[in-house]
């Protein structure tokens, strides 16, 4: 170990004395780029391992409860839908995904590749609410397609389907509402079955209720706590069978290969790779880059644009989600703050951490959002406004209300407009209680709007979220 450190030190000294300071600086920059490039795949690996074991691949896994303030599995959890997810492992062949008639219920089920790109989106918007069946295959599969099935080809052998079913909240006493029970029936009729078993007439359904959360399964923290060796070893392990898109070839040539990384999916590659095979200098550069990642992620987040009303992530603010191309920095940041994001055409997520005057949102202040009658959220699915604490998780609301939205029994004004009240204490006017979103007294917080199946005026940037007004 000591000899290795001495060799690293000598290599650095030699680089600097030899006029290699700029080379070292350039190498660290490339190391940051390599980390951002690999990060989404490492997050996918960690999330899969934290949520299912290998016996639950190619099977549908349902959540039957909504997250609460104790939930820590992902940041900014969704309290609008019940989830039905599938981790596909297609290396040994396809799997058949069958979905029942939703009975008019809005749902969507995008399928992400191992790099977090949306490869296809199933559901009310795209394929309708009737019964449907799909043959989900890996990139290299060839064979006969059974009659009645539509082929979905994943560019990677690992794929993640994230189904979301529009569902009303539980009853006040915490018991499942009638709408939740109806969603359970819809979920229970879904099936995911490996093709050979499906051909024999088997159907693999899953009805196990998942826990609402587990504080030990914070995947972003799991990845953040990895050292460079663990991080890149995880990346390489997951990379096998999950090839990079062809458009990434220039990046591999200019960055990854410069460190000695070899694509395990390349023709003739034996898939063998160890972090220790890298040169001492390259390991030092990668580890030096590693120390800069928290500040780099912060910088990427700070670069997100606000629109004129003080909201981020509006389509007009230029934030493409779901299909990232070669925008590796954005892809990494989205994986960091909200792994598995939809394309804007399926959902838009405006977010705010400050009021209209630029002051941080705080529970000591009362706020109002006013939607004019002709400016109510334009969606074909549904909309909701959720409040998160500074840690990006739900806070412990005394009334267990974490979001308000268009499906709630809101009180509209006489002219058809709508006021939402965000404050720590209940509104003085009892009639406004349904429109109240509780905030944590004395603490900073953030708001996230969810617009499912937004109308074209949202996508064009012609509709804006209202400003967050201080009403103290």
Query: pLDDT, tens digit, for every residue of 323-367?
Result: 999 999 989 988 988 889 899 999 999 999 999 888 999 999 999
Considering the domain architecture, whether residues 202 and 104 belong to the same structural domain is answered as yes
Q: Which of 299, 321, 345 is the last residue in one of the domains?
A: 299
**Model's pTM, two decimal places?**
0.88
Q: Which of 214, 239, 258 is the last residue in one of the domains?
A: 214
Mean pLDDT of the chain: 88
Considering the domain architecture, whether residues 68 and 205 belong to the same structural domain is answered as yes
Considering the domain architecture, whether residues 175 and 243 belong to the same structural domain is answered as no
CA angle (242 as vertex; 237, 244 as ends), nearest 5: 110
Summarised one tens digit per residue, pLDDT across range 427-447 is 999 989 999 999 999 999 999
Considering the domain architecture, whether residues 440 and 345 belong to the same structural domain is answered as yes
CATH of the domain at 111: 2.60.40.1610
Exposed, middle or buried by CB within 10 Å (0-12, 13-18, 19+), for 214? middle
pLDDT over 50 (residue 5): no
Average pLDDT of 406-432? 95
Considering the domain architecture, whether residues 294 and 329 belong to the same structural domain is answered as no
The phi and psi torsions of 342 (rounded to 5 degrees) equal -80, 165
Q: Which of 299, 314, 330 is the last residue in one of the domains?
A: 299
| C-alpha span between 454 and 463 (Å, rounded) | 10
Domain that holds residue 186: 54-214
- Percent helix, strand, coil in the chain (nearest 5)? 30, 20, 45
Summarised one tens digit per residue, pLDDT across range 49-62 is 988 888 899 999 99
pLDDT confidence tier of residue 220, bands split at 50, 70 and 90: confident
pLDDT over 50 (residue 18): no
- Indicate the number of domains in the chain: 3
| First vs last C-alpha separation in the chain | 62
Q: Which of 80, 265, 90, 270 is nearest to 168 (CA)?
A: 80
Exposed, middle or buried by CB within 10 Å (0-12, 13-18, 19+), for 163? buried
Summarised one tens digit per residue, pLDDT across range 70-102 is 887 777 888 999 999 999 999 999 999 999 999
Residue 148 neighbours by CB distance under 10 Å: 9
| C-alpha span between 469 and 472 (Å, rounded) | 9
Summarised one tens digit per residue, pLDDT across range 145-202 is 999 999 999 999 999 999 999 998 888 777 899 999 999 999 999 999 999 999 999 9
CATH of the domain at 429: 2.60.120.600
The answer for residues whose C-beta is within 8 angstroms of residue 46's C-beta and 6 or more apart is: 219, 222, 223, 234
At 136 the pLDDT is 98
CB 466 within 8 A of CB 359: no
């Amino acid at each position: 170990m000591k000899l290795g450190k001495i060799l690293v030190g000598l290599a650095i000294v030699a680089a600097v004395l030899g006029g290699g300071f700029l080379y070292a600086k350039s190498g660290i920059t490339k190391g940051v780029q390599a980390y951002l490039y690999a990060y989404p795949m490492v997050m996918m690996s960690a999330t899969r391992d934290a949520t299912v074991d290998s016996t639950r691949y190619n099977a549908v896994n349902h959540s039957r409860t909504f997250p609460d303030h104790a939930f820590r599995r992902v940041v900014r959890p969704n309290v609008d839908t019940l989830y039905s997810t599938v981790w596909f492992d297609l290396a040994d062949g396809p799997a058949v995904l069958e979905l029942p008639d939703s009975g008019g219920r809005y749902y969507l089920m995008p399928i992400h590749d191992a790099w977090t790109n949306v490869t296809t989106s199933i559901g009310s918007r795209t394929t309708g609410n009737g019964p449907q069946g799909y043959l989900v295959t890996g990139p290299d599969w060839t064979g006969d397609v059974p009659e009645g099935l539509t082929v979905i080809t994943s560019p990677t052998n690992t794929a993640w389907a994230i189904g979301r079913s529009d569902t009303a909240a539980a009853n006040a006493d915490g018991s499942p509402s009638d709408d939740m029970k109806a969603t359970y029936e819809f979920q229970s009729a879904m099936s995911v079955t490996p093709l050979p078993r499906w051909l024999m007439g088997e159907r693999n359904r899953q009805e196990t209720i998942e826990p609402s959360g587990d504080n030990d399964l914070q995947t972003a923290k799991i990845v953040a706590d990895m050292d460079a060796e663990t991080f890149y070893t995880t990346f390489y392990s997951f990379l096998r069978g999950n090839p990079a898109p062809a458009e990434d070839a220039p990046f591999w040539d200019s960055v990854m290969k410069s460190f000695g990384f070899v694509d395990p999916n390349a023709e003739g590659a034996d898939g063998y790779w160890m972090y220790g095979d890298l040169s001492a200098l390259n390991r030092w550069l990668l580890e030096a880059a590693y120390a800069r990642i928290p500040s780099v992620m912060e910088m990427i987040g700070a670069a997100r644009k606000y629109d004129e009303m003080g909201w981020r992530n509006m389509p007009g603010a230029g934030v493409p989600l779901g299909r990232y191309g070669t925008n590796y920095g954005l892809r990494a940041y989205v994986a960091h703050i909200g792994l598995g994001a939809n394309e804007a055409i399926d959902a838009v997520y405006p977010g705010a951490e400050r009021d209209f005057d630029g002051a941080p949102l705080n529970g000591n202040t009362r706020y109002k959002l006013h939607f004019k009658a002709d400016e109510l959220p334009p969606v074909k699915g549904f909309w909701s406004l959720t409040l998160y604490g500074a840690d990006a998780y739900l806070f412990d609301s005394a009334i267990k209300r974490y979001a308000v939205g268009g499906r709630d029994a809101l009180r509209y004004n006489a002219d058809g407009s709508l006021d939402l009240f965000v404050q720590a204490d209940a509104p003085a006017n009892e009639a406004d209680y349904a429109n109240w979103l509780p905030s944590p007294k004395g603490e900073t917080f953030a708001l996230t709007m969810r617009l499912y199946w937004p109308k074209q005026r949202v996508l064009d940037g012609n509709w804006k979220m209202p400003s967050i007004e201080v009403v103290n």
